[in-house]
Amino acid sequence: MKVHIKHWSAVAQWRWNTGNTAHDQDDEGDVCGICRVPYEGCCPSCKMPGDDCPLIWGECSHVFHMHCLLKWLGTAASKQQCPMDRRAWVTAERKANDPSSTTVS
């Protein structure tokens, strides 16, 4: 049997590599703990997901949309603490624009 391919469409999908393959315990999936939009979506101030609305990692292991976290840290009420565990926020070495931090499948 011969098969002739008449046309084909390429489909690509991307997601941030948060180092967290399992879903969160709270069954909400991988969402930003501040805006509750999936990591692969964008923060409420952005129109397009992707490199322009990257993630930020804390040394405490918590991950947020960078814009959401910076907005929080910009408020006096934050006391510069992680929203999840109230430890002092320290951004982890890992850079959101580091190619090794994203996967393409």
Partner 1 sequence: MALPKRIMKETERLVADPAPGITAAPHGDNLRYFDVTIQGPDGSPFQQGVFRLELFLPEEYPMSPPKVRFLTKIYHPNIDKLGRICLDILKDKWSPALQIRTVLLSIQALLSAPNPDDPLATDVAKHYKEDEKDAQRVSREWTEKYASN
In angstroms, the first-to-last Cα distance of the chain is 31
Q: Name the segment binding partner 1 (CB under 8 A); options: 1-9, 15-23, 49-57, 81-89.
A: 81-89
**Per CB under 8 A, 38 contacts partner 1:** no
Check residue 66 for interaction with partner 1 (CB under 8 A): no
Residue 68 lies near partner 1 (rule: CB under 8 A): yes
* CA 79 to the chain's CA centroid: 23
Among 18, 30, 44, 94, binds partner 1 (CB under 8 A): 44
Query: Residue 41 or 102: which CB sits closer to partner 1?
Result: 41
What's the CA dihedral at 45, 51, 55, 58 to 10 degrees? -130
The residue behind tokens 């002739």 is 4
User: In whole angstroms, what is the distance from residue 51 CA to residue 95 CA?
Assistant: 12
Structure tokens at 104: 């393409």
Site residues (CB under 8 A) for partner 1? 33-37, 44, 68, 71-72, 75, 77, 81, 83-84, 86
